[in-house]
Amino acid sequence: MQGDYHKMFRGTYTALVTPFDDRGEVDYAALRRLIEAQASAGIDGIVPVGTTGESPSLNVEEHIKVIEETIDACAGKMKVIAGTGANSTSEAMELTRKAMEAGADATLQVTPYYNKPSQEGLYRHFSAVAELGLPVILYNVPGRTSREIAVETIARLSGNRNIVAVKEAGGSVDRVSAILASCDICVLSGDDALTLPMMSVGAQGVISVASNVAPEGVVRMVRMAMDGRWADALELHRKYYALFCDLFIDTNPVPVKTAMAMMGLINESLRLPLCSMSDPMKQKLAGTLRKLGLAE
């Protein structure tokens, strides 16, 4: 079964922003428009209410509704990996149950990011969520969580048939090699600038922020790498490298929502404590978008 899941979660998945209207409410009509555009671009799946979707700023009702609306809008054309992680294991399980009921294909489970569990605590936390039966993609992002999921812990967790992948956002290509040398699990890049290097050592795709802005380009780069067309993939990596970097000149998702607003895709609306970028940062980002022909 795990082998089938490994194939199932290859490709390009967009860590989708959550659009807000002028009043700061979730704009579900805009959400559907974004998903339709992602489908047209050939994206393999959508990841709603992850970090990029401002999950810490949504209440539980909004969180579940965004997942439900995403599943409905994807209509089986793209997979849905629901962001249902939490600091509390019981909360993560409750959110995951709701995602299962709504028809999600998998859950993205971020490392609990405030209470600093031990590796044994992480093992028990992720195992408990996995026992619900929905395929679990672990999310290693130590820059946001103060904890790294140790390679040894990932290897232990890979013995659970429902834990099928790990999103690696720790900035280390070396960890991809270490994980794959230790166990049989799908690795997805969690860092656009490292997608191609990670795929060169065995990662099978990306959960991307940049594909909110340039979905066709990211899809092409990943598919070329999957097909072994490394020189062509490298050309696209170089083309979009400045964008990959500039989307992180401020806290994610501030730059990507700003870029999408510049492109006329959404309102430039964030929820506190996130706020707008400085004008110099906006000018830098706008220049990169213009060079790529993504904005005027």
82-112 pLDDT, tens digit per residue, is 999 999 999 999 999 999 999 999 999 999 9
As a whole number of angstroms, the distance between CA 195 and CA 88 comes to 30
Give me the pLDDT at residue 6, please. 58
Tell me which residues are annotated as active site.
Answer: 139, 167
Coil, helix or strand at residue 83: strand
As a whole number of angstroms, the distance between CA 255 and CA 132 comes to 35
Which residue from 167, 173, 109 is spatially nearest to 135, judged by alpha carbons?
109
Query: Counting beta carbons within 10 angstroms of the beta carbon of residue 181, is it exposed (0 to 12), middle (13 to 18) or buried (19 or more)?
Result: exposed
Give me the pLDDT at residue 94, please. 97
As a whole number of angstroms, the distance between CA 166 and CA 139 comes to 6
Q: What single DSSP character describes residue 26?
A: B
100-154 pLDDT, tens digit per residue, is 999 999 999 999 988 999 999 999 999 999 999 999 999 999 988 889 999 999 9
Does residue 234 sit within a domain? no
Give me the pLDDT at residue 7, please. 66
Does residue 29 sit within a domain? yes
As a whole number of angstroms, the distance between CA 126 and CA 24 comes to 33
| 38, 107, 23, 212: CA torsion to nearest 10 | -30
Q: Return phi, psi of residue 11, to 5°.
A: 115, -150
Q: Are 237 and 190 in contact (CB under 8 A)?
A: no
Does residue 270 sit within a domain? no
Does residue 274 sit within a domain? no
Q: What single DSSP character describes residue 292?
A: T
Q: Which parts of the chain register pLDDT below 50?
A: 1-3
1 CB neighbour count, 10 Å cutoff: 9
As a whole number of angstroms, the distance between CA 183 and CA 175 comes to 12
Q: Which two tokens stand for residue 263?
A: 């492109």
Does residue 99 sit within a domain? yes
How many folded domains does the chain comprise?
Answer: 1
Give me the pLDDT at residue 40, please. 97
As a whole number of angstroms, the distance between CA 45 and CA 15 comes to 9
Which residue from 94, 96, 108 is spatially nearest to 14, judged by alpha carbons?
108
Measure Cα distances from 174 to 116, 150, 153, 193, 279 in Å. 24, 13, 16, 15, 36
What's the CATH number where 161 sits? Answer: 3.20.20.70
Q: Which domain holds residue 171?
A: 2-226
Coil, helix or strand at residue 88: coil
Kindly state the greatest CA–CA separation across the chain: 51
Does residue 39 sit within a domain? yes
Does residue 6 sit within a domain? yes
Q: Are 63 and 95 in contact (CB under 8 A)?
A: yes
Give me the pLDDT at residue 2, please. 47
Does residue 78 sit within a domain? yes
